[in-house]
Chains A and B, each alone.
Chain A
């Protein structure tokens, strides 16, 4: 029985949708399929975008016909398990949860009925799986937020959330890589950059990596922030 279907995503896109719930196993399957597609269609595909329960492919109709792409994809999907089982990295992201970086920690405490210390403890105890990257450069979609920390997004998004801000919105936690508008409850900030084009690998993590948050003090934040700015040359 097939547990997927493909749908057209415009005239140069195909999205394969999986019916299973979000899980590490499904992400491993999707990343494995993404890598297989990149190998099989190096010239034909210009984008391969994994997500929680889908894989989106953007193809060049001048290089491969829609019918041919679909029939070859069907073959790939019917093949035995292609799950990506490479051992992933564990990435420790230092976060300062002090008041000056955590404007919404107090209101989150009221929403969750947990003390601020309990919120920080639970947030730093979690191990978060990187399901995918997207939205903006270096943004990590993380799974594994303790359910007690689930909270609604803000009714009115903030106009400017500083880069590095760590937030919770719904059942997700994440870090804003750039200054941007945002609707999540902000509970801390990391001094390190999540995206640096000067690096060989500009994003700090890749899908299937594990992220751990480590609480740091304000002085450690400023120390690491200075190092990070020197190495990236950003102001």
Chain B
């Protein structure tokens, strides 16, 4: 029982909701960048929300299945095709896809967003490391041998839930929520609250930050998103001592261009933070691609918690 990687794609990796509670050992959480799409994929297939998935980034893989099983793909949209000796069939996101033995799933042209999440109705036959299946790229552990998938890799599975033959290729439109209708437009409004060093920025600098339309730089990755736009000048002194750096923190290094920390980011940082993206919006960081436009808007802690709460409620409806 396995999934064979016929073509690896740009950065395909095994991720779950990440490792919590180890940042004091220097261990970033890792895990899916877009935790919302990842959890919806698991929900649609009937898995626990923390079940490991494949995170597929920008250029998708081709996967061959040696076992019948159900899968669901959420998040970024690609041209999806299931190919076998009977021909080929187009597939879509947010639907149950019934895979038969020998089927190939081809991720073609990317349409919107950066990362797709493939959930499967099976268990991974690889060990958890530090309570998670997530791949930690820097320290090379977790996932499959601590790295992104390579062509020729075989992902061993157990407990596959095989569909009945009659239901082959019947796609069930499970997801009807408007919120799932391709929200990755390329223009984002990210909501923020204050951070540790916000007070060290002048009102003019804060005004400039919230008025600037930033562009996502190509030098962005799972550690952080680098932004381009009008640089902030006359920054606070950089001699502040390092402290705990949480995902979503927006640091301003000496060049004045913000960096938004993400799931693989360093756990302690030394640049002043102008703001933090709220928890309810962190999933969107996983869908940003070079050239996307971002504006930031400030909310208060109470509003941020209400937004997180309503997101949980929305997720629990599935």
Residues in A lying within 8 Å of B, measured CB to CB: 7-13, 15, 17, 22, 34, 46-56, 58, 61-62, 66, 132-139, 141, 177-178, 180, 195, 197, 202-203
- What's the minimum C-beta distance from A53 to chain B, rounded to whole angstroms? 5
Binds A, one of B72-80, B94-102, B178-186, B241-249: B241-249
Contact between chains at B266 and A135 (CB < 8 Å): yes
Partner of B241, one of A22, A49, A56, A61: A22
Contact between chains at B276 and A180 (CB < 8 Å): no
Residue of B nearest to A9 (CB): B196
B24 at the interface (CB under 8 A from A): yes
Which A residues are CB-close (under 8 A) to B140? 178
Partner of B25, one of A11, A133, A178: A133
- When each residue 254-277 of chain B gets 1 if its CB lies under 8 Å from chain A and 0 otherwise, what string results? 000000000000111000010011
Which B residues are CB-close (under 8 A) to A132? 24, 268
A195 to B26, CA, bound (A): 10
- What's the minimum C-beta distance from B145 to chain A, rounded to whole angstroms? 11
Which B residues are CB-close (under 8 A) to A58? 23, 244, 246
Count of chain B residues with a beta carbon within 8 Å of a chain A beta carbon: 41
Partner of A49, one of B249, B268, B301, B308: B268
- What's the minimum C-beta distance from B279 to chain A, rounded to whole angstroms? 5
- What's the minimum C-beta distance from A157 to chain B, rounded to whole angstroms? 13
**10 closest Cβ contacts across the A-B interface?**
A56-B244, A10-B276, A49-B244, A134-B268, A11-B304, A54-B243, A137-B139, A51-B243, A46-B20, A61-B305
Residue of A nearest to B129 (CB): A197
Which A residues are CB-close (under 8 A) to B305? 11, 61, 66
Partner of B193, one of A11, A15, A133: A11
Q: Assuming the A-B contacts A17-B196, A66-B301, A195-B139, are A9 and B25 also in contact, with contact meaning beta carbons closer than 8 angstroms in the complex? A: no
Give the most central of B139, B195, B248, B304: most A CB within 10 Å: B139
A58 to B246, CA, bound (A): 8
Contact between chains at B24 and A49 (CB < 8 Å): yes
